[in-house]
Structure 1
Amino acid sequence: MTADPTTGISSFDPQRALALAADTFQNEAEALLAIRAGLDASFADVVRLMLSCRGRVVVMGMGKSGHVGRKIAATLASTGTPAMFVHPGEASHGDLGMVTLQDVVMAISNSGESDELNVIVPVLKRLNVPLVAMTGRAGSTLARHADHVLLCAVEREACPLNLAPTTSTTAQMAMGDALAVALLDARGFHEQDFARSHPGGALGRKLLMHVRDLMRSGDDLPRVAPDARFLQMLHEMSAKGLGFTAVVDAEDRVQGIFTDGDLRRLIERGTDLRAFHAGDVMHRQPRCVRDDVLAVEAAAVMEQHRVTSVLVVDAQGRLVGAINSNDLMRAKVI
């Protein structure tokens, strides 16, 4: 780049930017493959240690390693391994009290010479708290005092000046992800477990939300008896605003359904509707789902049969509710 003499700001070279981006990806990809090739039994030892931990995995790191540490702690916690981040600078001023004898500490430092981390290592040793070092230097102070070492050494940073933590932090992040994946697999962690940790996310809604949580019920549910007059049935449909009414017997068992679509088809045929009862015009064997199934299953039934509403029944087949596509969309199930 050359500096603009009027502004003192370097002029932008798009081709150089693209070349640097490509070099960055290449540098970081090669570094990760090198670390992968160097994986050994020490990684499995750390996984075993964290699996047996009765407390939390306490992650620590300064600067960019601290930012990576926060992410690693969050990933571990959301995939079944209790974890938290403790800032090393605050740890030496009281926050070390958060660490218990049941915990495992994982300290992250590329150089392994972070003063804030190394000053608390003796305290951890006196407490007999297991210490895992994630570092780029096997002979560093942190590595020498750790019980286990996860080596994340990189030849050089992607930064053209070889100064800004780039490749080294990518290596730390990948090692943290590898730990999380190995741990969740060893714990038998499944989609349902992930959903319980993410109830507000899309997967959480799909795996935790049941039909009974969303269905219309009680006075909001349109229903008539088979002998209800046609005008009575229309009034029930209009009052409840769902575009249909269920037809049930005296024990609330579903006999059929009558929808706006059924009404349009009768009108198109020129049928005199005043003499009909609900049982005469209802659609028998309507689509129903149980109230204890997942809401996403109700969505699948609607999609499969190209309907926008389904009736909801209990284990005895009695009508307990109704749910339509609008209910599912509001809950962000679909």
Structure 2
Amino acid sequence: MISICNKLKDDQPSLPEQVGFDSTGKYSSSSFQSVYHLHQDLSTYSLEDLIAECLHAFRLAKFMELSGRYFVDGTGKPVPVTKEDFLETCKILVCNFVRSAANSFGVPGQKMAAFKLYPTKSLVNHSCCPVMSHSSFGRETFVYAIRPIVSGEELTISYGDYFNTEVKSVRSEKLQRNYRFVCRCQACEENWPTTKCLPAIVLRCEYCNKPHSSVDVQCDDCLPRTRSRNAVAKKAPKRKQNSQVAPALRVLHRVEGKIRTGKPISKEEFRRLCEASEVAFKHSAMPSKSLVGFMGSVEVCADAGLMYTG
């Protein structure tokens, strides 16, 4: 009879970085071997934490042994568990506990009763100003964009609070305690303020595309040049309002009004909201109340199922 310990060792991949990919190099979203790619940094654990994880693994391994359903031979009959088998099982359990703690998602209910690991979703990194959000409907889980995605931009979700709902110090403490890492997203690096301190909107210059604080469509660097060109060409004076952003904001305000009053939002309204969001993000910059409003409204509509209905 082959030792269970040797069987477990044989199941360990020789090249963990290749696990989860098929023979053509394509990543398989249905392969749970991808857990080998997930974050596992024991250096962030204190001695007390590691002892607690080892005790947890010991208890679970003992329950597995006593149940008679896990240490079995090829016919399903229980087999004697050697010390080496037991310790190898505990070691694997500890590694899985560490991976799960930083990469699992809670299953919602009256109380958080369980956690799930997903082959692909668990690979997505955190940002306090994420590109995507996620929802679960029945046994299916979805990730979806809540703002336009720039080519080459990393796809991220939030593991906790968004930057506009909590100050950086609180967010950092929660992430360090629950996930054991220091967030270095743009919102944290630049210490973006919460909603009440955000400007209503930050327009981009129509000429150089840089954010600026003026109400004009040109920034202070481009304004003198455009004024001189306008004077020579006898063009109309500069505009005081970005005519492309204003209609997008009206769409946002209508949807936000319905969300506040609990009125249903149609599929067509959701489509217009997404189109308006693309316009607003193209002609204005983060952080601002308006763009945060677009992200939040898209998320509310998606959570209500509008993104998945025909």
Q: TM-score, normalised by structure 2?
A: 0.27
Q: Which protein has the bigger strand share?
A: 1
Q: TM-score, normalised by structure 1?
A: 0.26
Flag the structure with larger Rg. Answer: 1
